[in-house]
Amino acid sequence: MSIHPTAIVDPKAELGTEVVVGPYCVIGPDVFIGDGCWLQHHVTVCGPTKIGERNRFHAFSSIGQQTQDLKYAGEPTYLEIGDNNCFREFVTVNRATSIGNVTIVRDNGNFLAYSHIAHDCDVGNDVIFSNNGTLAGHVVVGECAVLGGLSAVHQFCRIGKHAITGGCTKIVQDVPPYMLADGNPAEVRGINLVGLERRGFSSEAIRVLKEAFRILYRAKLNTKQALAEIGRSLPESPELRDLITFIETSERGIIR
């Protein structure tokens, strides 16, 4: 473990092995930082926060600060971060609002400069947030999703797995998995073709998703009719089950 002499580490913080804490970092009480984490300089970590292994925090990132929700009255709330994430300059991640609740960031995420994860969010594995990607409270982001630069997501929305948003996109409803949403207000423009190819999806899986997109967004059917047609006319697949289940469980409705 290496702690720069200008850093301030509260005695009630717990640091694992091979943790590097750079100049002028501040680590508060009730913080646990796992093995192999690296804090560059001027990083602030507030608790209660639990951080896994091999995470990298670049300059001026602020992790575990209290929620910005005006309802917050000082209750004990939490932040949990998994393993192998990278938080670039000025990234902010807030704890939850209500007593006992948790903001969750899972594994292998890449959060570019000025990204923001608000209270009570649940961010999945292997995501990428481009610069200034912003989540309001209670947002759920599925695995392998990509948030475009300057994108903003309204509270309680969901971004489906393997979905992508374009730069400067305004998200006020759910983005279905495997889709590409862009615009202000956002529209679904097609499937996330490049992302799916890079992730190794088969040509058949991509073909089925393209046809599902056509039925859902181009066939002039309402959502219920489109789902019925997708179930009737397309071969069953894991991707199709993901898409149908996501839409059926949407509380805010999906972007059309």
Sheet of 44-45, strands arranged across: 8-9, 26-27, 44-45, 62-65, 92-94, 116-117, 134-135, 152-153, 170-171
- Residue 233, H or E segment: helix 223-233
Q: Is 231 a residue of the active site?
A: no
Spatial contact of 12 and 30, defined as CB atoms under 8 Å apart? yes
Catalytic residue among 69, 83, 120, 174: 120
Q: At what angle do helices 203-218 and 238-248 cross, to 10 degrees?
A: 30
Q: Residue 70: which region, alpha, beta or left (left: phi > 0; alpha: psi -120 to 50)?
A: alpha
Is residue 182 part of the annotated active site? The answer reads: no
Which pair of tokens denotes residue 128?
A: 């990428």
CB atoms within 10 A of CB 43: 25
Q: Which of 34, 52, 137, 142 is the catalytic position?
A: 137
Catalytic residue among 119, 148, 174, 195: 119
Question: What residues contact 241, with CB distance under 8 A and at least 6 apart?
Answer: none
Q: Give yes or no: 137 in active site.
A: yes
Residues belonging to the active site: 119-120, 137
